[in-house]
Structure 1
Amino acid sequence: MTSKAQQVIKDMQQNLEEETYLRFGVNRPCCNQMNYSLTLSRTKKEQEEVLVLHDIKILIDPSDSHFTDLTEIDFEGDGFIIRNPNPLVSPII
């Protein structure tokens, strides 16, 4: 997570005036489509793991961890950017 993303997330959390988590994962809306999900949440789901990175509590579902490993979260302009060095769909060889 870049320092810019950290600051934006901390500012957003501070504006809510309650303890919140950053939920990071993958949505599967259809077939073989995958989209990243990045939201603030006041609650933790039972199956989610809590990671603490730069004083930010991050919720990750274990089933998404192989899609989110080594992913960088950045903030540019007016939005978050997800950079993943690993392909989400590997070719069959």
Structure 2
Amino acid sequence: MHKFELNLPAELDSIRGKGRILLLAVWNFPDIKTHDIVGLFLPCNNVHSNSYRLKTRLALLGWRFDKRPVEGRCKSHYWRLVQIEKPEQG
């Protein structure tokens, strides 16, 4: 088990398993690269599939992954966990 300094926001606390490890890695290391997530935290190289499975649940909780490609690295991205902005209600 990895020791992460920062706890997840309370609304994400119910997520468990590989999804939780992915969330904790991205939350604790904003702009972490895909290959670093695999090398340091998750034993599989299918991080994008894990994030896809979490997509709907994260959206319901008001969060999403922000991924940007790493220039010069095939299939690697910078990862960040961001809160979804709620539209102003008038």
User: Relative to total residues, which structure has the larger helix share, 1 or 2?
Assistant: 2
TM-score, reference length from structure 2 = 0.28
TM-score, reference length from structure 1 = 0.28
User: Relative to total residues, which structure has the larger strand share, 1 or 2?
Assistant: 1
